[in-house]
Structure 1
Amino acid sequence: MHNLNVQHDINNKLFFAKVKGGMAQLAYERLGEKHLDFKETHVPEPSRGMGVARHLIESALAYAKARDIMVKPSCPVVQNVIRKSEEYQHLVEK
């Protein structure tokens, strides 16, 4: 699902996209000026298994990468995406 229009709501600390069944979202907390904790990913049931979560997470990781922001992947789905992609592993503090 590459035609997903991922948006960033800074006030509510969400990356989100409208999908079949509602809104897919990745919630985060700011841990300082250059640190984000990706807390929870949610994809509505009708849109699961279509790569929505991966696209949402990759968009959020690209946002962090472009701004030199470190991430804490508290969400297991985010952890999995990072583990499978060397492109984002440097964003996680060791």
Structure 2
Amino acid sequence: MNNLNVQHDIINHLFYIKVKGGTAVLNYDQIDEKHLDYISTHVPEASQGLGVGKHLVEAALDYAKERDMIVKPTCPFVKHVIEHSDAYEQIVD
């Protein structure tokens, strides 16, 4: 899934990918300068089961990690991705 181009809409607080069936989206809140709350993810039905959601979440987590930010994983899917990777333990609230 590395060929997927994840975009970041900083104004509307979301990461997204144009995929078959529409747009996959991860919504977040900026709690303060160093804290993000990853609230929800959605992948269109036509693109589910292809790794799109995981790719989207990992890109959003990498964004936070690169900026030394802390993530609150409110979204169950974000929490699942974090729990199954050692790469993000240090940025989780």
Give the TM interval when normalised to the shorter protein: over 0.9
Q: How does 1:17-56 map to 2 (within 5 A)?
A: 17-56=17-56
Q: Which amino acid aligns with 1:62?
A: D
1:89 to partner: Cα distance? 1.2
Superposition misfits of 4+ residues, deviation over 4 angstroms: none
Give the gaps of 5 or more residues in structure 1: none
TM-score by length of 1: 0.97
Counterpart in the other structure of 1:87: 87
1:2 to partner: Cα distance? 1.8
Counterpart in the other structure of 1:62: 62
1:13 to partner: Cα distance? 0.3
Q: Secondary structure at the match of 1:80?
A: helix
How many percent of aligned residue pairs carry the same amino acid?
Answer: 59
TM-score by length of 2: 0.98
Q: Secondary structure at the match of 1:28?
A: strand
Q: Which amino acid aligns with 1:87?
A: A
| In 2, Cα distance between equivalents of 1:89 and 1:49 | 25
Give the gaps of 5 or more residues in structure 2: none
Give the root-mean-square deviation of aligned CA atoms.
0.5
| In 2, Cα distance between equivalents of 1:91 and 1:82 | 10
- Count of residues in Structure 1 that have an aligned counterpart in Structure 2: 93
Counterpart in the other structure of 2:9: 9
